[in-house]
Amino acid sequence: MIDFRYHLVSIIAVFLALAVGIVVGTTALNGGIVDTLKSSNSKIIKDKRNLEGTVRDLRSSVGRRDDFTETVAPRIVAGRLANERVLFVAAPNASDGTLKELETMVTQAGGTPTGVLRLRGDLLDPDKNQVIDDLVAQVAPAGVTLPEGAPSDSAAVELAAALVAKSGAAALGEDAAAKVLGGFTGADLVQWQAPAGQKSPATEPATMAVVVTGGSDGKPLDDAGQQQQRAVLTLARALDDRSQGVVVAGPLSAAGQGGLLQALRDDNGLRDQVSSVDVADTPYGQVTVVLALDEQETGGSGRYGEGPGAEAAAPSPPS
């Protein structure tokens, strides 16, 4: 008969063998995992270094492209905007650096910047409709037909009438234009920045306009944000109706989700009327803005740049 001690020793031997097997198996398995992890880590480090090299090459390439563009830009744009007076309109998020570069490019093209109309948040705020409506009625110039609809629509028409006019067309009188602009600046709805030594507003209205916007964070807009964008585009339309042409320009992200250029390019009634450029923060984009203005002057339009909805990098040379 097998006694109890035999059973006890057998059980202990079984558990001891199991423990030894677990230890040996785990050690072998860990060795395989470590080797795999080391191999994967080496590959990741190699890929990272390759990507860093690619990024350096791309930055160098973009830098050379920008240097080349800056060198040849004066020859490309020379005379394109001769005798044209160009108004700049800045959305609340517009880059001051982009505005300055575009003004310089317009000047190199023979155009004359007439000033910068900076849109304040209240002008685009639907909650300020009553304030805007009251002001529109106070400064309404004689002979300008105001549209029915939102107060921002009428405000856009008044501001356009005060600041732009087609070449050879009758412009709003200097006093009436000053009254409109003074009313909107006094109500803190816009800010007017005149060129050094120039009256505010200019004695002669602009013949063309560039609307400059900032970028987008890639998130969809709420109802208020969409209404603000529509107000800016309504102003762009009003400026285009009374001038030789308008270009809306901004950085690449402005053509993406939530950007003003995306809203423009999605507007079937406006995208073929007002041109857009989505690389305006680059030298070649600033040249493109001038070429797009030149195209607008001859009745053409287009969507240019690298972002969604762009048709080409720049307008085709005239035949």
- What is the full per-residue pLDDT of the chain (319 aa) written as tens digits? 456 666 666 677 666 666 666 665 656 556 667 777 777 777 787 777 777 777 676 666 566 767 767 788 888 999 999 999 999 999 999 999 999 999 999 999 999 999 999 999 999 998 999 999 999 999 999 889 999 888 999 999 999 999 999 988 878 888 999 999 999 999 999 999 988 767 666 668 999 999 999 999 999 999 989 999 999 999 999 999 999 999 999 999 999 999 999 999 999 999 999 999 999 999 999 999 999 999 999 999 999 999 999 999 999 876 5
CATH 3.40.50 fits 80-304, yes or no: yes
Q: Token digits for 225?
A: 């944000």
* Residues whose CB falls within 8 Å of the CB of residue 155, separated by 6 or more in sequence, listed in order: 123, 132, 135, 136, 184, 189, 235
Residue 196 half-sphere exposure toward CB, CA atoms < 13 A = 0
Domain boundaries, the chain: 1-77, 80-304
Q: What is the pTM of this model?
A: 0.81
CA gap 304, 315 in Å, rounded: 7
CA gap 68, 85 in Å, rounded: 27
CA gap 284, 191 in Å, rounded: 29
